[in-house]
A = this chain, B = another copy of it.
Amino acid sequence: MVTMKDIAAKACVSISTVSLVINHHDKGRVKPEIAANIWKVADELGYHPNAMARSLRSGRTHTIAFISDQVATTPYAGEIIHGAQDAARQLGYMMFIIDADGERNIDRDIDRMLSWGVDGYIYAKFANRYVSVPPMLDDLQVVVVNAEEHTAIHPRIEPDEVGIGYDATKRLIDAGCRRIAYIGCDEPAIAQFGRLKGYRQALEEAGLPFDERLTSRVSYGRPALEAVCALLDGMHPDGVFAFNDARAVYVYDYAFQHGLTIGKDLSVIGVDNHEVICDTTVPPLTSVELPHYEMGFWGACKIISLIEGRDPIKDKRVTPSYTAAPTPPLDSDGPTLIHCSIIEKESIAGKPRGQRNTGAVQTSETIGRSVPTAA
């Protein structure tokens, strides 16, 4: 390992001079030609500052930990990690991954993080769920991503579920649909309540009646397919808002069986913009995308803003590399809701109004909207 000592020896200066130069504190203190020579020697020797030694002195490690259960089990895991890692990288932080699988013996892992002196923690879920952040972390810097806490003591970000239901339904209404079905989820998930609420809001706003019989709550497999077919057979909706893409597929199955054409005879919109469904179905499925990358990105920015006491977004020290959507502001009080955009494919009859759909208009209203904790 090359150290400052080696550089000092080779450049015939003292270690402190090397330190001053390497840390750019040499302005007006070290002769430029000496500084230049130090850089040259450092480069020749292949010097890398020892982060360990640096951290030992400064008490700051420039590392954050990304804690989550189910790193493995959902297709979207990577997007959140990617977003968080991207922001961390740009801000000069390294990110550890910790799998809190089933809340197992996470305390042992946290012990290890405490040993490392990690500067802050991102606690993430891969589906919008209630979580309990381990109390051990309560005194530390923690940000919660894609989840709600019962206690609501940490800053957090989550998708605007009501907005999803509202935008999706409105999109169908704008396409001319008047009998819009909702294929829901049979679990009492946060998302289920929110999306249903948004669905009803959009209907009401358009003066359309809410009809319980146009809604269904299903899981997967044959029972789900049969429930969807029964609803479509009995109620003949002209549009379907599905809780997610996987459930929207049953509408396609029905259409194939009955010779209907999706996007013509029947409009469908899902949620997730799941690549493996939306880009492979015929026709491709229009879907609301959950901004996982963006949530991860926000989470890392937020935790680092707490660590450093300054706002990396306002300071323009960071740019999302994967998306054009603006990152919600960091300084809102209470939880931050993030808007979810409709990704237009071809499963909805007619054109959306304007080039950008209503979802885009919603953006300005919803991005970073702060909601009362009781919501």
Please give the residue numbers on chain A whose beta carbons come within 8 Å of chain B beta carbons, in ascending order: 1, 48-53, 55-56, 59, 61, 66, 70-75, 77-79, 81-83, 85-86, 89, 94-99, 101, 109, 111-112, 114-117, 220-222, 224-225, 245-246, 249, 252-253, 256-257, 274-277, 279-284, 292-293, 321-322
Contacts and interface: CB of A to CB of B under 8 A. Distances in A.
Contact of A280 (B72, B73, B221): B221
Contact of A283 (B49, B222, B256, B292): B222
A338 to B, nearest CB: 17
Given A56-B53, A112-B94, A256-B253, A71 B81 contact: yes
Given A85-B71, A99-B86, A222 B49 contact: no
A17 to B, nearest CB: 20
B48 A52 contact: no
A177 to B, nearest CB: 24
A97 B296 CA distance: 14
A85 B98 contact: yes
Contacts of A85: 71, 97-99
Contacts of A101: 82, 86, 321-322
Given A81-B72, A221-B284, A277-B276, A52 B50 contact: no
